[in-house]
Structure 1
Amino acid sequence: MMRRIAIASVLAVTGCAGMQEAQKKPQGPTTTEERMRITNQPPFDVAVCQPKALTLPQPTNEGILVGALLSTRPEVMECLVDPKSRGEAETTRVVVKTTVNEQGGTHAISGENLTPEGTACIQKVVDTRVPLTALPAGVQPVTSESTFLHEVGGSASVKFGINPGSDFSGTVRLAQDSWCECYAPFAAKIPPQLKATVDLKKGTATPAEIVFDPTNTPEGDQLSACLQAKMMTLPVNITVTELKFPYRFTHFHSQAGEASADMSPELRFYQLDLLRNQRAANTAMAFGARANAAEIYEAVITKFQKTPQKKQYDLLPELTSKCNSLVEASKASVDALSAQLQAEQQSLANVQELKAKDAAWGELEGKLQEGVTATEQDVKSAQDRLKADQGACPKVNYK
């Protein structure tokens, strides 16, 4: 199980290269303004606009904690977009060490190139998204460690001081997670990719004009109108007479199962990378929940076996109930793995499409194929385990 999480993490890092490639290939022709290198327009994962506190299966265990922390990746990485969260180095490493015992639980944040602002942001994310409950008396403490890696140039990031257009773009990007009402209609799907023309003028406190290209869909145009209104309130400070440049809104959604129709193959690659990460998190939590159910059932079996035969009948309802819970947990683990396999197969097909145009994608194709093959075997093993669990349940006849 932990091997599958490790593979997902490796592919998540590889996905940074996919995002770099996607950003190198803008939608449409290159303009004069773009040749001036307007930067600070990285993608935005709208999943950060729908954060939900997880209800962890109890008692928690390492697998559950690993999956829960992995699911916070969109919000953790969003914290690191802001340059105030990072030091001067290009690489930022975040380590979340989680401990749960009889007194309660804590998430301890540490890392490299992480500022106090970054630490505080991530601390708030994990405390809110992964609330911890004290373990029952007598249960051994549980610990887990999760690592997040941010690479400037590979991960979404903003850097100020490049040029006025890039600085305004950075201000827009950092404001996006506070514009979540604009993204409310996209709770379960990816918003369209948008392009706006920004006009800034010297001596004006806010933009002179911002015009979005039409999307030809009501919800797309509604999103454009909402974002345009937000952008028009942002501060402007330029020394040249006028500056016009395009701003591209590249949207992802790590909880969305399908890519949007207007996504290029490069953008689909990164979208699927985000989806794989969430599916791996779900798998880890499902396997952790099954481990709990199996342990509880084993305890009931032990109690049943130690009970005098004349009184064993009284334990049959509990034995049956706990076994049924184990079967349900096993079904959930099969479903989670199957969903993960589907995402990995989609990623493989996507990379094969990219490889047809650029042979350099071949190396990643091999890694993804290895992952698909391994997950196929994991699914089969989980299905066999489910059958065994179903067969282990007592057949009770109360007639």
Structure 2
Amino acid sequence: MLLRRIAVASAVLTTAACAPLQKGTKAAPAEPVRITNQIPFDISVCQAPAAGQMPAPTDPNILVGALMATRPSVMECLVAPTSRGAEQTSRVLLKARATDQETQHTLTGVNLTPEGEACVRKAVEAAVPLKVLPKGAAPVSAEVEFVHEQGRSLAVTLGTNVPSDYSGAVRLGQPQWCDCYAPFATQVPPTLEATLQLVKNQATPGPITFAPAGSPEGDALAACLQQKLAAVPVAPSPEDVKFVRTFHHFNARATAPAPALAPQYRFFQGELVRNQRIAEATLASGVRASASSAYDAVVLQQQKAKGKKALPEQATRCAELTAADAKWVSALTAQLQAEQQSLATAQELKAQEASWAPAEASLQEAVAATQKDAANAQQQLEADQKSCPKP
């Protein structure tokens, strides 16, 4: 229920409701206009996958980790109402398979429109480019499922009223405004507030002003967004409406905490980062397993040759193994740090509201498990280093 807790809406009064009353009339209570669709934007979707970043899928966990890491892009595809059907719950099942002959991505969707499927497929195929395996290699496959629930997951809903539809159009436009977010590749952009006015029967927004962001980078972001907002078309409004539009931001690829965020937003930001760290650790474990198999094959070859001297390739493969070990340890350490940060935030929230106790308990278990995994990985690294043949 986290997103329901952090849902954002503005209650404003139309200027018509605030007009002077004629003499002898009785003041009618002003009806507030609820402005919806002010949902956070995860700017990590602005970062294109680095060329050559995806290792050859020689182990299932490599594929699992790579598919898990597509969560921000997949969930962003499902923000748009045109991507989802009439049901409240949408499911995306991603499957990937590689053999020494071919590769294949398979997408199975529930409550997805053709537009939604196309968006997800494009994002996944760009982020997880599959490679044909070496001749004779065993087939490798994996699958990951994502679930989007309207009311709990980020989603734009249109048709409430003109300002809400405009706010929704703004949110749907943000993935195309990545030039504004370029300076924040590893940071969480600040929360911004813009005061907007929709003018009666006008197809473009009226004056747009941002409150000071508190930093030069934040003010530059506000200036960039101001230009984007001015270009978003508006369905003609029956009356003037002035409201505050809040821009909440997340970044699943942030490398540092975001202490300026309110605790609930900070928790959600931390969970986005934690999901990515888990994906990275899963992929790293797959790379390590693949390197171990390659090294074991060389050792077996040396044993069959009944030679006492290590084969030249053995040192190379062992160096690759220990390098993979080190990356696995590093990935688990980063995962542990993310889990500890989420746990601290959950404990802060539980001190204010007891309903956060299950989240705290779950994260305590996750921290304990990852501490054990990281310790085991470190021991494996040390053991592999000792077993490597000396030059």
Same fold (TM over 0.5): yes
Measured after TM superposition, the shift of residue 19 of structure 1 is 2.9
Measured after TM superposition, the shift of residue 59 of structure 1 is 4.7
Equivalent in 37, 40, 51 of residue 40 of structure 1:
37
Equivalent in 380, 388, 392 of residue 387 of structure 2:
392
User: Deviation digits for residues 103-143 of structure 1, max 9, x if unmatched?
Assistant: 23121111210111000001100111111100111112111
Aligned amino acid, residue 215 of structure 2? T
Q: How does 1:98-247 map to 2 (within 5 A)?
A: 98-247=96-245
Q: Tell me if 1:19 matches 2:17.
A: no
* Partner in structure 2 of residue 319 of structure 1: 314
Equivalent in 336, 358, 364 of residue 363 of structure 1:
358
Call closer, same or farther: CA 1:370–1:308 in 2, change over 3 Å: closer
Paired residues of 1:192 and 1:260 also in contact (CA < 8 A): no
* Partner in structure 1 of residue 323 of structure 2: 328
Find the aligned partners of 1:365 and 1:122 in 2 and give their Cα distance: 32
Aligned amino acid, residue 159 of structure 2? G
Q: How does 1:51-70 map to 2 (within 5 A)?
A: 51-53=48-50, 55-70=53-68
* Partner in structure 2 of residue 6 of structure 1: none
Find the aligned partners of 1:259 and 1:170 in 2 and give their Cα distance: 28
Aligned amino acid, residue 51 of structure 1? A
Paired residues of 1:94 and 1:147 also in contact (CA < 8 A): yes
Find the aligned partners of 2:257 and 2:81 in 1 and give their Cα distance: 29
* Partner in structure 1 of residue 371 of structure 2: 376
Measured after TM superposition, the shift of residue 37 of structure 1 is 2.1
Aligned amino acid, residue 62 of structure 1? P
Gaps of 5+ in 2: 15-30
Paired residues of 1:80 and 1:86 also in contact (CA < 8 A): yes
Write out the 4+ residue segments of structure 1 that deviate beyond 3 Å after TM superposition.
Answer: 29-35
Say which is worse superposed, 258-267 or 358-367, in terms of deviation: 258-267
Find the aligned partners of 1:45 and 1:156 in 2 and give their Cα distance: 10
Measured after TM superposition, the shift of residue 332 of structure 1 is 0.9
Measured after TM superposition, the shift of residue 30 of structure 1 is 6.8
Aligned amino acid, residue 387 of structure 1? E
Measured after TM superposition, the shift of residue 296 of structure 1 is 0.3
Find the aligned partners of 2:126 and 2:57 in 1 and give their Cα distance: 19
Aligned amino acid, residue 363 of structure 2? L
Call closer, same or farther: CA 1:81–1:343 in 2, change over 3 Å: same
Find the aligned partners of 1:102 and 1:364 in 2 and give their Cα distance: 43
Paired residues of 2:203 and 2:236 also in contact (CA < 8 A): no
Find the aligned partners of 1:308 and 1:62 in 2 and give their Cα distance: 33
Measured after TM superposition, the shift of residue 144 of structure 1 is 0.7
Find the aligned partners of 1:259 and 1:281 in 2 and give their Cα distance: 19
* Partner in structure 2 of residue 262 of structure 1: 260
Measured after TM superposition, the shift of residue 178 of structure 1 is 0.4
TM-score under structure 2 normalisation? 0.92
Find the aligned partners of 2:259 and 2:138 in 1 and give their Cα distance: 49
Find the aligned partners of 2:13 and 2:263 in 1 and give their Cα distance: 25
Q: How does 1:82-93 map to 2 (within 5 A)?
A: 82-93=80-91
TM-score under structure 1 normalisation? 0.90
Find the aligned partners of 1:88 and 1:245 in 2 and give their Cα distance: 30
Paired residues of 1:19 and 1:266 also in contact (CA < 8 A): no
Find the aligned partners of 1:31 and 1:162 in 2 and give their Cα distance: 14
User: Deviation digits for residues 5-27 of structure 1, max 9, x if unmatched?
Assistant: xxxxxxxxxxxx32332236x8x
Gaps of 5+ in 1: 1-16
State the identity as a percent.
48
Find the aligned partners of 1:342 and 1:242 in 2 and give their Cα distance: 49
Q: How does 1:275-294 map to 2 (within 5 A)?
A: 275-294=273-292
- Matched positions, count: 374
Paired residues of 1:40 and 1:158 also in contact (CA < 8 A): yes
Find the aligned partners of 1:30 and 1:382 in 2 and give their Cα distance: 52
SS in structure 2 opposite 1:295?
A: helix
Higher helix share: 1
- Quick check: which has more Rg, 1 or 2? 2
Measured after TM superposition, the shift of residue 389 of structure 1 is 0.9
